[in-house]
A and B are shown apart, each in its own frame.
Chain A
Amino acid sequence: MPSDASAHPLARPSGRVRRIFRHLPLPGERESGLLATLVVLSVLIAFGSHGALFTPVNMDNLLVSAAITAIPAIGMTVVILTGGIDVSIGSMLGLVAAVGGLAFEAHWSLVAVVPVFCLAGAGLGLFNAALIIPGRVPPVIATLGTLSIFRMLVFLVTGSNWITEIPPSLTTIFIVTRIGPLPMASIIALLMLALAAFILARFRLGRHVYAIGNNEAGIRVRRIKLYAYGLLGLLTGIAALMTLGQSPMVQTSTGEGFELKVIAAVVLGGTELSGGRGTILGTLLGTLIVELVGDGVVLLHIQPFWSGVLLGAIILFSVGAAWRPARSA
């Protein structure tokens, strides 16, 4: 897809002022628009729900689920920046939760189980990467395949039974413990987002990630792409752990549809599917909007079936809104 080279931050005529501002986390045009949308949506939902949006219980719920979406969204941003996509993470989350749940059932201690979640996630992510990079299977095809394969494995691993022996300490750690107004899950997500934004903006690795999406030359492309999928898997594993903190049981349907939420957040945040453009700040704002819409559907007593329609419409609208006639010429 042809993209307007002059619109890319790295290709701007770089005066000294520009060069300094490029590395500051100032919101760009896209991010400002998202921020405005976020504020308008909150006000609308707050009025529509007679203030139910800001009750502590609802706020906690919203913040924790935003954290669970935002953490894999970091990985998804990097994967999409390098020109890939992973539609399997919903099933991946379910499978990691199932494997970890079995470890909990076998009475492993929490300290021993956390690495299981991380390793299982990273392993599944690298499995996708192995298909996509050395195997040359297009990312959509590969991950569409693993979406159903991982889901099959969830059934095989759990034997279609629910796993309910999840220690309450997970809930304590991620949700009950708080710093200021934020539950621990949100704090962890914010730290990870900040770290990712810093690395992407300031490190050579980060510049390489953008460069791969724009034009793959002279960089260890394959290795970075491999890491990107591995990172996404690892972060999905962490999200699985937090999901069990939020609702302490593993079902065969755990994580279904999760991939769309994460992709919606990233795409809404302005990361372009053709790669090379997008920011972590945008992803954070995209996540918050997606979660707010989901919460709003519940608070405003809209039929839950609408959430899929809304999510799909939001993705199309947001990508379409970035469209400029000149680019298709």
Chain B
Amino acid sequence: MRGRGLEPTRIFLLLAFFVLGLGGFALGDVGILSRANLTSMAVFAVEIGIVALGQTFVICGGEGGIDLSVGAIAALAQVLLGLLLVAHMPWPLAIVIGLASGVVMGGVNALAITRFTIPPIIVTLATMFAFNGLALVFTGGINIDLTTMPPSFLALGQGSAFGLPLQLAAVYLPLLLLFVFLQHFSRFGRALYLAGTSELAARLAGIRTGELRGWTYVISGLLSSLAGVIGAARLGTARPDAAEQMNLVSIAIVVLGGTGIFGGDGSVIGTAVATAVIAVVDYGLSYNNINPIYQAGVMGIILITLVLAENMVRGRGGLRRVRSYWVRATSGDPLQDS
């Protein structure tokens, strides 16, 4: 058994979706193809895309790996950053502290999941509410205005470089390269694939699987806080209720990008292309003034449909599963289908 890694077919399919989606919205209103709109789309994609990179690693690690607290971490980091900025702390230092808070929050998840062996769903569901609650407590439930902060800080979310939004050129693309390297060309990535594919095999190979998975949550925490920081700079405000749908959307992106929810396969390249697709869908819906609640609903439908289709194709559900079930039941063969 080995990790499936990158599937070129899926990348082409996703690119086709991207073009179709964009074309579809353009049929409704060509205005969506304007430079300003495409830039806004890219800007939106960066934040959720960064979070999805971390989520990819968490899910790839297997054993029910999932991080539901990403949005809450982004919100709390953003709020901390905002409070420090309002207290006249130099902005680079405030950003470092904001990012450090993300590492700490990811560390809390990692510790609870690997040391105390609590299932990831419960841990990250609990920390999601805890971090969101803390963000509300720290701000008293009101938004912090950051529009009067130094332009050099706001440029992080509003500037541009090489004709691209600054956060895309200077943050997301380098990060993506780093993650491609980490996943496909480093020992960490190979170990993670193995741990996600087979816990036992990974342990026999001498991999400390708990530690390995722990790091994926720390990475996810750091990236979520980074997304929070960029969001604060982009909107010039720190909101305790920012990024509420981030967990759902990031998981949808990861699954759409070809990382199976059972771990051990997928690629951050798939995640990156899927981010573009989701960004088009989400922006297209916003552009047509669709209520955010409906957008979340559409994301839910996309997520479930994808996993269902995935299961059919891979034979984890659907006919093959049923058939193998009957074969096992009638012949007494204890082997699982693989």
Contacts and interface: CB of A to CB of B under 8 A. Distances in A.
A274 interface: yes
A323 B117 contact: yes
B119 A131 contact: no
B297 A316 contact: no
Interface string A312-329: 110110011001000110
B118 A316 contact: yes
Nearest to B69: A312
A137 B308 contact: yes
Nearest to B137: A305
Interface string A291-329: 000000000000101111111110110011001000110
Interface stretch (B30-38, B125-133, B211-219, B276-284): B125-133
Contacts of A274: 119
A305 B297 contact: no
Q: Helix, strand, loop or mixed for chain B's interface? A: helix
A111 to B, nearest CB: 33
Nearest to A3: B117
B93 interface: no
A253 to B, nearest CB: 10
Contacts of A319: 116, 118, 122
Interface string B277-316: 0000000000000010110111111011001100100001
A147 interface: yes
A152 B293 contact: yes
Contacts, number: 143
Contacts of A134: 317
A315 B136 contact: no
A265 to B, nearest CB: 13
Contacts of B68: 144
Contacts of B308: 131, 135, 137
Contacts of B118: 273, 316, 319-320, 323
Contacts of A315: 122, 125-126
Interface residues of A, number: 47
B155 interface: no
Interface in B64-112: 64, 66, 68, 112
A1 interface: yes
A147 B132 CA distance: 18
Given A305-B133, A328-B117, A148 B122 contact: no
Contacts of B66: 140
B297 A151 contact: yes
Contact of A316 (B126, B137, B300, B303): B126
Contacts of B127: 312, 316
